[in-house]
Structure formats: C-alpha cells, structure tokens
Amino acid sequence: MSEVKFFSGENIPLEMHKVRMVQRVYLREIEERAKAINEAGYNTFLLRNKDIFLDMLTDSGVNAMSENQYASMLQADDSYAGSETYYRLENVLQDMFGMKHFLPAHQGRACEHIISRLLVKPESTAIMNYHFTTTKAHISALGGIVEEIIIDEGLEINSNLPFKGNLDINKLKASIARLGKENICFVRIEAGTNLVGGQPVSMQNMREVSRICREEGLTLVYDASLLSDNLYFIKTRDPDFKDTDIRDITREIGSMMDIIYFSARKLGAARGGGIMTSDNEMFLKMREMIPLYEGFLTYGGMSVREMEAMAIGLQESMDMDIISQTPIFVEVLCKELLEKGVPVVTPPGGLGCHVDARQFCAHLPQEQYPAGALAAAFYLASGVRGMERGTLSEQRNPDGSETLAHMELLRLAFPKRVFTLSQVKYVADRLTWLYQNRNLIGGLTFEEEPRVLRFFFGRLKPIGNWPEQLLKKFREDFGDSL
C-alpha cells in the first residue's frame, strides 16, 4: 500500500509524476492586471485566461491528464448509438461503485437537473450536509427547499476535527420528525463539501445516514464530484481505514447510496458527468430524460474521447499516489500561510486552500462582498485567479435582501497535478504581502446583477478608489518587479 510522500519529513511534497507537456503562461505587469480586472467588472470569472498567471479558479475540467488518458482517446468509438466507449465506461463505473446502472450526462449540474426532476416536488425539502451552488439552483427552480444539517464545527473556520463535512445525525432525525418523511424529496451527502472548504465526510457518518434513510424509506443521493479528495482523507485521517483498499472503501460507499452522481470535470479528470443507481424504477425514469436533455443514451452530451479519458481517469483515481497530490499541495500552502498569520480554513481540505476573507478583510461588511473584493485584490497583487465563495455566490431572498453566506472564502483551487512547488511559494508570498496591506482592500458593489447564479456574470465596481491605492503600494514595495 503506497504512503503519501513528503521529502525528508519536511513540508515538501513529492510529485509522483513528471511533466511531459506544458502550457506557456504570462505574468502581466500590475498596471495591465488593474486594467484587466476593471474590464472584468471585478469578477474573476470574467477575466480572460491570457491575463492570468496561475489559474486557481477551479479544479473543474482543468486537471492534468495522464498519458494513458490521452492514449485512450484514440480508441474512442464514434457512433451515435451503441458506442463501445460507453460500454467500457459503464463497466468501469459498475465495478468501481458496485451499482447496476449508469446514465451519462454532459456535466455534474446536468446530473443534478435529471435527479431533481426525478425527485423534487414543489415545497418538498432536500436535506444535505451543505449545498453546492448548482445543486441548490436546480432544486429551487423546481420549487424545492434546501435544508443544511452539517455539524456545527463544519461552519467554523478553524477546528481540529478530521471530518468537518459530516452530517449532524441529531439534526437529521429532528428534520425528519419536523418535516415528515413524505415532505422530504431526498437526503444528499456531498463528498468533500465544496462551499465550506472542501471538508470530507467520514465512513462512520455515511453509514449512520444511510441506515437512517433506509429505515425511513428516504432516497439517499451522493455527490461524488470530490470523491478523490474524500477518499484520501478517509485513508489518512481515519485509523480504521488506514489499511483498507481504496477500491473497497469506494464499493462500500456505493452500497450505502441509492443514487450516486458526479462531475467528471473533477472526478476522473476529464470532462463530463454520470449518474449511477441500482434501483430499476428510478433508472427507467431518469433514462427517459437523457435523450431529451443530454443526448442519446450512449453518450449523454459528452464527446466519446472524453468518455474514454474518464474511464481511465476513474481507474487512476483508485491510486493513492495520484489522488494525494491535490490534498498535500493544499496542506503545504495552508501551512505556509498560517505561519505568516494569514487566516485559512483548517484542517486543510481538498480542492484548494480556502482563505478566510472575514478575518482577512475584517473592516468590510458582508454586504460589500469581502471574499469577492479579496479575490479581485489578489488577482491585482499577483496575477493569480481565485474564486469568491461567499455572499456573492448566494442568491438574494425574494424580498431583495442579501442571503449572507455562512463563510466568506477566497478559494485558491488546485487543478490536479498542474502547479509546481515554486508556484505555490509565489502564491503564499504574494498573499502574505496582501495580508500585510489588507487595510487597503475596499468593498465591491454590483453594477449589473443577474437574477440566477449571479457570481458567474455579475459585474461589480469598487467602493472608493482602493485598487489604485493598492497598485501604488505595490509599486512602492516591489519597484519595477512583476
């Protein structure tokens, strides 16, 4: 069984791969970055890649693929119906989760659309550890309600708890008693809880939730998009599973769930999505929707080349040397930042390093989007693009008031096996500088605010001329340097 590898026990991770193809990136002058972020309406989603040095927006669809993944693309079987590629992918997934049926969809949110159409009735409640933006948007669009029952520590920035993504069993029981099971459309567990710092869920917790759902006859849905990170944490943080084969852990997870879905832009390091179930009735109902919303059943809106790459990527995700790369890089960055006093979510999660914008920009009220302002300021200071995960990522209440997020985070995601240690050091260095000059960061206000998923296309403007002040200080401290 392979162990996670650190060099001489120091805080230096060992990459268990070598780089054989590279992409040129550019670090623009800060004046150019100021222009770019201004043109992007201070929304990092609207920046152009040519203006970005390190893209830490997301780990979705931007992971480094292996040589075997690329090689597999050559055997992709391009047929509208009955593609051999589909059957290869189906076999891999059936084996991985031990579930009977596989339905392809073009990405994670497409799976959420199909599952929500199957299960959500107006006024019904979906209970989950925590929502993801697209999950909630699909449930809300069908008149459903989301209820979050993550353990209280899950919403605290700092903790020693190894599994902060766990569902609170008492809250689950209380919700079932209060709502009545007929009003609950499904229970959802999100692996590696995205919006609260990529925090994992323990096997013990999943077992308990699954038992309760089976007793109550509730459908249990598992979002496996961040499964790789969660598997790594189960193996490294839960002594009971230290010696258990990763395949056996995955199969046990499969045996506990009624439906599993995933974004293959994350899990499997390609681009696409999929739904698994062993329930014949639910399978047949969802199958009807695939040709309507996605594409014919044997491709589901995906390119067959991506499906081949996904089949290999999924098998590779059963290898600790491969799946450990993101969490150990996240840990290294978090440790380095903590040493400099920069507030980050602990314990370090998967997916990325999460900077606590509430503490970082303690002078900014949540209505001025501290995490969004920090994301814009950090791009200005470094050319690194992170993502706001806070109040901007929420939707307004029907009366127009803000839904203030539980956490205001700047997420610095790690695309899998993409960045080097020196680049990580650069991130830590610039973020530390920004922290020392944090009082220069001002708030943001909307100029154009979309009604749904506003963080994608919304345009904002700074309150005051703080970007100019920050640029001036940068030039004072760094001179002509980039």
Task: Name the residues that contact ligand F0G, by CB under 6 A.
Answer: 58, 60, 107-109, 132, 134, 190, 194, 223, 225-226, 263, 265, 273
Q: Provide, rounded to whole angstroms, the least separation between the CB of residue 231 and ligand F0G.
A: 14
> Which token pair is 189?
């567990």
- What positions carry a catalytic annotation? 80, 132-133, 223, 266, 389, 455
DSSP 24: -
- Chain length of the chain: 482
Closer residue to ligand F0G, CB minimum distance, 40 or 111: 111
The single residue listed with the structure tokens 């491709």 is 299
Q: How far is 91 from 310, CA to CA, in rounded Å?
A: 12
Closer residue to ligand F0G, CB minimum distance, 58 or 346: 58
Is the Cβ–Cβ distance between 116 and 219 less than 8 Å?
A: no
Q: How far is 477 from 437, CA to CA, in rounded Å?
A: 11
Q: How far is 2 from 8, CA to CA, in rounded Å?
A: 16
The distance in angstroms from the start CA to the end CA of the chain is 44
The single residue listed with the structure tokens 């229970």 is 187
Closer residue to ligand F0G, CB minimum distance, 73 or 387: 387
Q: Provide, rounded to whole angstroms, the least separation between the CB of residue 65 and ligand F0G.
A: 16
Q: Provide, rounded to whole angstroms, the least separation between the CB of residue 6 and ligand F0G.
A: 27
Per DSSP, the three-state class of 375 is helix
Mutual angle of helices 370-382 and 466-478, in 10-degree steps? 40
Q: How far is 436 from 359, CA to CA, in rounded Å?
A: 13
| H/E segment holding residue 423 | helix 421-436
Q: Provide, rounded to whole angstroms, the least separation between the CB of residue 188 and ligand F0G.
A: 10
**In the bound complex, which residue of the shown chain has the CB atom lying closest to ligand F0G?**
108
Closer residue to ligand F0G, CB minimum distance, 132 or 232: 132
Q: Provide, rounded to whole angstroms, the least separation between the CB of residue 112 and ligand F0G.
A: 6
> Which token pair is 132?
């993801």
CA distances 271 to 61, 187, 190, Å, are: 6, 26, 19
Q: Provide, rounded to whole angstroms, the least separation between the CB of residue 134 and ligand F0G.
A: 5
Q: How many helices (H) does the chain have, and how many strands (E)?
A: 18, 14
Q: Provide, rounded to whole angstroms, the least separation between the CB of residue 103 and ligand F0G.
A: 15
Closer residue to ligand F0G, CB minimum distance, 220 or 440: 220
- Contacts of residue 248, defined as CB under 8 A and 6 or more positions apart, other chains included, come to none
Closer residue to ligand F0G, CB minimum distance, 154 or 462: 154
Q: Is 164 exposed, middle or buried (0-12, 13-18, 19+ CB in 10 A)?
A: buried
CA distances 20 to 71, 157, 314, Å, are: 14, 38, 21
Q: Provide, rounded to whole angstroms, the least separation between the CB of residue 244 and ligand F0G.
A: 24
Closer residue to ligand F0G, CB minimum distance, 175 or 225: 225
Closer residue to ligand F0G, CB minimum distance, 358 or 389: 389
> Which token pair is 345?
């979510």
Q: How far is 204 from 188, CA to CA, in rounded Å?
A: 16
CA distances 105 to 130, 262, 263, 300, Å, are: 23, 9, 9, 5
CA distances 352 to 192, 234, 348, 381, Å, are: 11, 17, 8, 19
Closer residue to ligand F0G, CB minimum distance, 72 or 225: 225
Q: Provide, rounded to whole angstroms, the least separation between the CB of residue 47 and ligand F0G.
A: 15
